Amino acid sequence: MSAFGLNGPGMSAPLRAVVVDDEAMSRARLRRLLGQQRDVEVVAECADGDSALAALRRLRPDVVFLDIRLPDLNGFGVIDALPPEQRPQVVFVTAHAEHALRAFDAQAVDYLLKPYSAERLQAALERIRRLRAPAPAMPLAASAEGFAQRLAVPVGARLRLLPVETIECVIAQSNYVELRAEGQTYVLRETLSGLHARLDPRRFVRIHRSRIVRVDAVRDIEHLDGGRYVLRLANGLRLASGASYRERVREAMGLG
């Protein structure tokens, strides 16, 4: 199989892929579609979870296209059995939509629902290529390592990967949260505390037991009695802080 840029100067190495599916026809179709990509090399095919795990450990590919329902060990079990430093980028390929949220919790790059189109596969590959591209250098103090960079939020029958830097605020509503981002509202079934733990505390501050704001989305602050504040965001939304969060707000906003 040819690989784009394998020897050319300044070109990237081929994307080494493993295909895992217990259905031979599904593997053959995916192999054929990947074979049309000049920079993708399929280095192994597996029909069950145990052989997939062995192949991933041995070959250390860049990406695995992984079915979820497999003999022996399911797709999530395969990924969980690998230490983080050995995990490739994961694209789940399955006929079962109900596992999508768990897939993104497992840091999957994408979730292809069978029968998927060649264009949908192309979009997944573009995401992987962007992740492989060298990131611009940044000071260590500005690194958000360990915190979420994107959140998978339901939009109709799909999941949108929402960059956290677009989130202006998060508001708790019963047993879910509302995310306000770029003029849109997204609903995520998660507790406010659980989501707060995934966000970089240098960029997001909890101002109330039911509210989180992105620090640089705040345009002005009004002081109220009792140690409370009203924060006005760039989108015009006004949010009141709780008295017990006074010091957090003051520190995050640089109020001295």
pTM for this structure?
0.52
| Length, in residues, of the chain | 256
Structural domain boundaries, residue 110: 15-132
Give the residue from 208, 203, 216 showing the smallest Cα distance to 192.
Answer: 208
User: 187 vs 103, which has greater pLDDT?
Assistant: 187
Do 78 and 155 belong to one domain? no
Do 54 and 82 belong to one domain? yes
Q: What is the pLDDT of residue 255?
A: 85
DSSP state letters, 143-156: --TTS-SEEEEEET
Span 220-233, average pLDDT? 91
- If one counts every other C-beta atom within 10 angstroms of the C-beta of residue 212, the result is 23
Do 123 and 150 belong to one domain? no
Give the residue from 204, 40, 5 showing the smallest Cα distance to 128.
Answer: 40
The CATH number for 146's domain is: 2.40.50.1020
Do 42 and 127 belong to one domain? yes
Do 36 and 113 belong to one domain? yes
Residue 135: is it exposed, middle or buried by C-beta count within 10 angstroms (0-12/13-18/19+)? exposed
Summarize pLDDT for 60-116 with one digit per residue, the tens.
999 999 999 999 899 999 999 988 778 898 999 998 888 877 777 777 888 999 999
Do 177 and 93 belong to one domain? no
The CATH number for 60's domain is: 3.40.50.2300
C-alpha distance from residue 152 to each of 70, 104, 106, 123, 177 (Å): 24, 6, 11, 16, 13
